[in-house]
Each structure stands twice: as C-alpha cells, then as structure tokens.
Structure 1
Amino acid sequence: MSVSPDAVVPADLVAALRRDGHVFVHAAELQPRLASDVGLSDWPQVAQSWDDMPLDAYMADGGRYRRRRYGVFSAGRDGAIARESHQPHWQSTDYNRLNGGIARWFEPIADDIGASASIQAVLQCCRGAFNALAPDTPHWHIEMHQFRIEAALDEAGQPTPEGIHRDGVDYVMVLLVRRENIACGTTTIHAPDGALLGSFTLTDTFDATLLDDHRVFHGVTPVVPIDARAPAFRDVLVVTFRGADAPTDPLP
C-alpha cells in the first residue's frame, strides 16, 4: 500500500518544522490529508485497539497508569513500509533517565492494526515530511508506540514520566487518538537550554505535533480525571523516525 508523500504533506507544515523544529497540526487540517489517498475507513477499529492494551511493566517509578504496545517498521524514501520482526525498545539513560538503560520488551502492536490503512496513512504522512527535511537519508528505522495514560484521584497519569526530554531519534510525531474525562495534558516544547518555545494541548482526534528531535525537547503535563467516578485516559500514537544507517546505542 503506497501513496505519493507529496499528496498528504503540505509545504507550509514542512517549512514550519524546518524553521522552528516543531509544529502543531490541527485535526481539521491533518485528518482530510490522511484520508485523501490511503484513507481512514478502518480508523474506528484502529482506535478501538487502545482498549485492550497491557500495563507497561517497566515503570521505574512504580506507576500503574501507562498501557502500551510497540512495533518496528522500515522504509525507503518511497514504496512500501514494511513491518519488522518484534524486538525490544531501547533508550539510553541519556534520553530516558527514568526507564532507560534496559531492553524493554513490550507487547506487539497487533498485525492487523500495523497493516491497517489508517496506520499506513500516518506512516506515509510522516515519511513525506521527514523525507523533505532529510533529503540524504535513504532508509528509515521507524518505531511506533500505542500509549494509554490513565488518570485517577490517587494517581495522576504521567504522559512523559521521564520529564522534559528528547527521544534519541531524528523526528517524532505524536497524534491524539482520544481524550476521555481528563483535564490538563499540555504539551510543552523547549530549547536545549530549557527555554520554553511553545505549548498547546492535543484535544481533538487527529490533533498532532511533529518534532525535530535534534533541535527541541518536549514534555506533557500530568492528566487528572474530571469525574472521579468515570474512566479517565489519554490515548496517543507516537511514531519516531531515525535514519537506518545512523549509529545508535547498542543493546546491552
């Protein structure tokens, strides 16, 4: 399943990302572009897949507020985007002071979800934007994370428990899938010296931010329930791109 990247990636989005190192994209702009080629006909089934995720068993703070699935893909500058065999997620403690330094084996994203038209549309959109920013990168290593952050009165949900950080990749997309009965969850963007560059809240399905991970840091404020009697959570899809030929920290 393939689509011309130029069909879904507006030039002004790429220009803003090149200029500022980050860009917030409203759902009203992004959703029609994702739907224009590959399509989003299976989005309800994709969004529903957030409902059966296991707890993240690697939380060094002891928190039980994060559910997660993970998958790895690879791609050239065009053509098919391939699902790779399941493998651990690795970050050094330079990038993740809380949970880094170990190989984390998360449950895999379901095969049918990874191969869905909606997920392929998101991946194609990311590749189009990041190709434009990195014209000399021939191959991409892509990691995808499904996150559900749950909130309760006795335990606020921490979308970024490691604090303000970089991910240790080249580029990042964070896409909101669903917010249910929560307040807060504001994304903040920072310069390497900590200076605040911007802030916004992902509120609508398909609201998204794209980041140049070499240039900016990011974080998200904790989420809390509005009604303590009802389920409260924040579902996001995080996709990271790294040049496949770039050196990376080895697994221990």
Structure 2
Amino acid sequence: MTDMDLDEALAEIAQIKERYVRDRAAFVRGEHLIRILSAFGSTPESVAAFQRVTEGLPPDPTLAFRKARNGRFCLDVAAGRAYRTEFQPFVLTADEDFVRHDSGKVRHFAEINDETQQNPTFQALLIFKMLVVNDVEIVHRPGLDYDADRWICTAFHTRTITTQELTGEPALEGVHSDGVDHTMTILLGSENMSEESAVTQIHDMREKNATRWSDVNPELAIGRWQHRHFLDSILIVDHERKHSVSTIEQRDVSVPARRDMLVLFTRRAAVEGHVSYAYDSIAPHETLPMEVKLLVPTHG
C-alpha cells in the first residue's frame, strides 16, 4: 500500500467532504483512510501499534458490558494546533437527544493515556477530521459558542463485550444524537462478532429518541453502514442526523465477542447555562500533555 503526499490527501479529503456536506454523513473505508493519514505523519509502525492500544482498558463507570477511557482536546483552529486539556468529567442529557438511564449523570472516566494520544495515527485522525468538518455549515446547537474559532473534542476509547451472561450494546440508548456538532466513529478491532452485529443506522431527526435499533421507522432511515475493518469510519453531522447501532452478537457462543472503537465527539465550546459549561476547561493537561499542528484553514 503506497503512502499519499499532502496534495493527494487533500484532494481525497475534498471528495469525502463533498459527500459529507451533501448527505450530512459519510463512510470512509479503513484501507483508504490509512493512506490518507500517511500524509499527516501516520506510519506503518504507528498503525500496527494503534491496533493494540485497546488492551487493558478499565471498566466503564456506568455500563457493565463496556470498558472505556476518554480524553479532552482543544482544537484551536486560529492557532493551528490541537492539544490535550486537563481532566474533566463528562455529562450528556436528554435535551441533547441522548435518552438513557445515565442521562444527565456526571460521569468520571479513566483518562486516555500516552499510548493512544502520542500515537501518530491518532494525531493524524484529529487532523483528518478537522479538515473534513471545520468550515461545514451546520444547524447550530443551543448553548454553544459558534463565534470562537475553537473546537472541543472528546475522544472515547471503548471496548464493548458480549458473553453468555452479558449482552454488549454499542448504543444502549437506542436512537440518539451525541450532543455535539460532528461525530466520528472509528473501528480499532473486533473478535467473534456475527455478521449482523453492530450495524449503524442513520435516521432523520424526526425519529423518536431511545427507539431500539430493531424498532425504528424504515421511512425515517437514511443510511446503513457497518464497521468491518480496521479504521472503517463513519462521520455524522450530529444535530442533523440521529443514529443507532445494533447489538453485538457472538458468532461462537462459547467465546466472548468484542468490538473496539475510538469515537471523536467534536463541538464548539459551551457557553454559560449549558450543562457542560463547567466541564469545558481549555487549560492544558499538566501530566499528560500532547500537542500537534493542525492543517486547517482559518476561515469559518
């Protein structure tokens, strides 16, 4: 597989962005994305290492079938840099189209570590996503600052597991949005999943929140994709399209099934009165610093 130079990568991203603007969602094959990321510093060695970073994840604070870490990053377009921000809790509410038993609960996740954030492939993913979404005109969410040339990105690193005793739900909340402007879901690996496991459906905003993936209105279905291979990715304009994900089923019921994902939630910073305002610090992380140059145009 050959690398891409910068001009070639930017041309490929322009085509992805065209689909994203038109459809408000886009699927990118992992094999294609790996080549694009090579223009932004990803190497074969970092790609291989990135396939192993999910081992050792700690338990999720509210979901028994999931292990998780998260980390916050400030994507400062005006300054042309992305950097790790200090530890902050995470909260998502029903008002943001996320209806689940822990909606509104302030959750404290273990932190994404250097093994992930210092990996050149992870850093290239931040660059790639910003090149796709930065100047896309979208419906604005209430309570976010669209005047500042800066984004908040929450990176979720998860492993969802199904066993004979436990059913893994990639989206237990059913039909939902993620309370952000742009969501990007990226497959890092899977094992022993059935062919119909973890299918992502894209829905019109009229679909009812919390509807189980199997009970959705087909007339409101817009798209259907499945992450099958390493770095297969889906981008969604989160306040214009809802989504759901089907259950993880075992191919061999005697062996656990797993699905490892990286999810990048990107939105403008919260303003006073927004539920996340208290958790939107842009102060750099003192013990887990990370910074990477952003190749993003500064016009909005």
Query: Do they superpose with TM above 0.5?
Result: yes
Q: Percent identity?
A: 26
Structure 2 unaligned spans of 5+: 138-145, 208-219, 280-300
User: Which residue of structure 1 aligns with residue 135 of structure 2?
Assistant: 132
User: Which residue of structure 1 aligns with residue 222 of structure 2?
Assistant: 197
1:38-83 deviations in whole A, cap 9, x for unaligned? Answer: 1133233333221111111213xxxx21111000000122622100
Kept in 2: contact 1:71–1:86 (CA 8 A)? yes
1:103-162 deviations in whole A, cap 9, x for unaligned? Answer: 100000013421221110110001111113159761111100001110113322100011
Aligned positions of 1:1-80 closer than 5 A:
7-8=9-10, 10-40=13-43, 41-59=45-63, 64-77=64-77, 79-80=80-81
User: Which residue of structure 2 aligns with residue 188 of structure 1?
Assistant: 201
Q: 1:162 to 1:58 in 2, by over 3 A?
A: same
TM-score by length of 2: 0.76
Mapped partners of 1:174, 1:4: distance in 2? 24
1:162-202 deviations in whole A, cap 9, x for unaligned? Answer: 11100010001001110111121100000011210011111
Mapped partners of 1:220, 1:151: distance in 2? 14
Q: Judge which range, 11-20 or 73-82, deviates more.
A: 73-82
- How far the C-alpha of 1:23 sits from its partner, in A, is 0.6
SS of residue in 2 equivalent to 1:18 = helix
1:188-225 deviations in whole A, cap 9, x for unaligned? Answer: 00001121001111100011000001110011100111
2:18 alignment partner AA: A
Kept in 2: contact 1:54–1:107 (CA 8 A)? yes
Identify which of 244, 252, 260 aligns with 1:227.
Answer: 252
Number of residues of Structure 1 aligned to a counterpart in Structure 2: 246
Mapped partners of 2:225, 2:35: distance in 1? 21
Kept in 2: contact 1:5–1:127 (CA 8 A)? no
SS of residue in 1 equivalent to 2:50 = helix
1:206 alignment partner AA: L
User: Which residue of structure 2 aligns with residue 170 of structure 1?
Assistant: 181
TM-score by length of 1: 0.90
Kept in 2: contact 1:175–1:238 (CA 8 A)? yes
2:55 alignment partner AA: D
Mapped partners of 1:49, 1:123: distance in 2? 17
User: Which residue of structure 2 aligns with residue 243 of structure 1?
Assistant: 268
Bigger radius of gyration among the two: 2
User: Superposition RMSD on alpha carbons, in Å?
Assistant: 2.3
* Greater strand proportion: 1
SS of residue in 1 equivalent to 2:48 = helix
- How far the C-alpha of 1:5 sits from its partner, in A, is 10
SS of residue in 2 equivalent to 1:29 = helix
Q: 1:136 to 1:87 in 2, by over 3 A?
A: closer
1:96 alignment partner AA: F
Mapped partners of 1:57, 1:116: distance in 2? 25
Q: 1:129 to 1:113 in 2, by over 3 A?
A: same
Kept in 2: contact 1:6–1:128 (CA 8 A)? no
